[in-house]
Amino acid sequence: MTTASFDSRVQEFAGKRVLVTGGSRGIGAAVVRQFLDAGAEVLTTARSRASTVPEGVAFVEADVRTQAGVKAVAEAAQEALGGVDVLVNNAGGARPFRSALAIPDEEWQDQLDLNYLASVRLDSLLTPGMRERGSGAVVHVSSAAVPTSAPAFLHYTAAKAALQNYSRGLALELAPFGVRVNAVSPGRIATPGGEATREQHMSLDEGAGQDDTTPPMGRDGRPDDIADAVLFLASVRASWLTGRALAVDGGEFPVG
């Protein structure tokens, strides 16, 4: 399922200004492409420019783990777009450790900065404009693995759990002003970054063997599966949805 496959979605976001963090590869790149195809004016970010950023998409090089990087992104959004109607906080990621007790303090801080505080900081700079205009949509990309609390990824899932809790609270605060806030929680998605993380996890877990697990629906997810969900939550078709976390995981994880 892609944007182009539905005539009703063509140009659905015409005239909308969209910011997607971490949009140079994987899920973020799919989100950027779908918004662009749907007529939006798009700005994306990454720590370095990649050839995968489509023509017509504005780009700012920034590290959203830092307050300076977040400020640079917010300023670029104002300069390039004149404000933001849709904010997709997608930047994130993790590397596994052998156990929860092996995760060093600096890695905990890095994960909180990347997977939680980057969204908090960017929201604080950009949602006031949405509130003033009386409309807007924020989508946080979380993880369907949050309920598992796997020891090797506890720093990551704990940060994403905090993101989901925060997302709900922000939604309740902004709902009276016409601004919706939701989260998308991806399961196992076929991306180069995801595959590299799984291989690293297997190398740490000596008893893991071959990673042949498959979600109940019989395949790994695709970046476009998540992008479809993001665009839905950002659209008028989801105008009665806020404060929710939508798991898009092929039935892989328990509801939490």
Residue 95 lies in a domain: yes
Residue 253 lies in a domain: no
pLDDT more than 70, % of the chain: 88
How many distinct structural domains can be found in the chain? 1
Specify whether the CB–CB gap between 14 and 41 falls below 8 A: no
Q: Where are the alpha helices (DSSP H) in 82-222?
A: 105-112, 118-133, 154-174, 192-204
Question: Stretch 141-161: mean pLDDT, rounded?
Answer: 94
Residue 47 lies in a domain: yes
Residue 254 lies in a domain: no
- The CA distance from 62 to 215, in Å, is 34
Q: Which of 35, 97, 153, 156 is catalytic?
A: 156
b/e per residue 118-151 (b: at least 16 CB within 10 A):
bbbbbbebbbebbeeeeebbbbbbbbbbbeeeeb
Q: Where are the alpha helices (DSSP H) in the chain?
A: 26-37, 67-81, 105-112, 118-133, 154-174, 192-204, 223-234
For the ranges 5-14, 83-92, 101-110, 182-191, the lowest mean pLDDT is seen at 5-14
Residue 256 lies in a domain: no
Residue 89 lies in a domain: yes
Question: Stretch 60-71: mean pLDDT, rounded?
Answer: 97
Give the domain CATH number at 62. 3.40.50.720
Give the strands of the sheet with 41-46, arranged side by side. 58-61, 41-46, 17-20, 86-89, 136-141, 179-186, 245-248
The pLDDT value given to residue 5: 46
Task: Tell me the pLDDT tens digit for each residue of 226-245.
Answer: 999 999 999 999 999 999 99
**Residue 156 designated active-site:** yes
The pLDDT value given to residue 193: 59
- The CA distance from 88 to 144, in Å, is 17
Query: Global pTM?
Result: 0.90
The pLDDT value given to residue 172: 98
Whether the per-residue pLDDT at 33 is higher than 80: the answer is yes
Whether the per-residue pLDDT at 104 is higher than 60: the answer is yes
- The CA distance from 23 to 52, in Å, is 9
Residue 42 lies in a domain: yes
